[in-house]
Amino acid sequence: MLLAYRAALASPRIRACAIEATEFPTLADSLDVRSVPRIVVNGVPQWDGAVPERVFVKRILAAATDRRPRVDSRE
């Protein structure tokens, strides 16, 4: 979540929020939360788990522009 919050602070076009899945089970179910963090962009779940900052930014940009990042073995 720290990376999401940092991205939101850096850009007015990004919003970040954390939702406690055990307190909001209906929302967690609707987003198919199975592990955390669950990254959702524009209402669409994108990936689960923490990633390095460089990978996070690459994936966020790809999701926001509706492009899938190329698989890179260096991620």
pLDDT at residue 65, as a whole number: 84
Domain count, the chain: 1
Residue 13 covered by a domain: yes
Any domain includes 75: no
71 domain residue, yes or no: no
What's the average pLDDT block by block, 10 residues per block, for the chain (75 residues)? 92 90 93 88 89 93 73 46
CATH classification at residue 59 = 3.40.30.10
Phi, psi of 45 (to 5 degrees): -60, 135
Instruction: Indicate the pTM of the whole model.
Output: 0.73
Q: For residue 36, what are the domain limits?
A: 2-64
Could you give the CA distance from residue 58 to residue 75 in angstroms, rounded to a whole number? 10
Q: What is the structure's pLDDT at 58?
A: 93
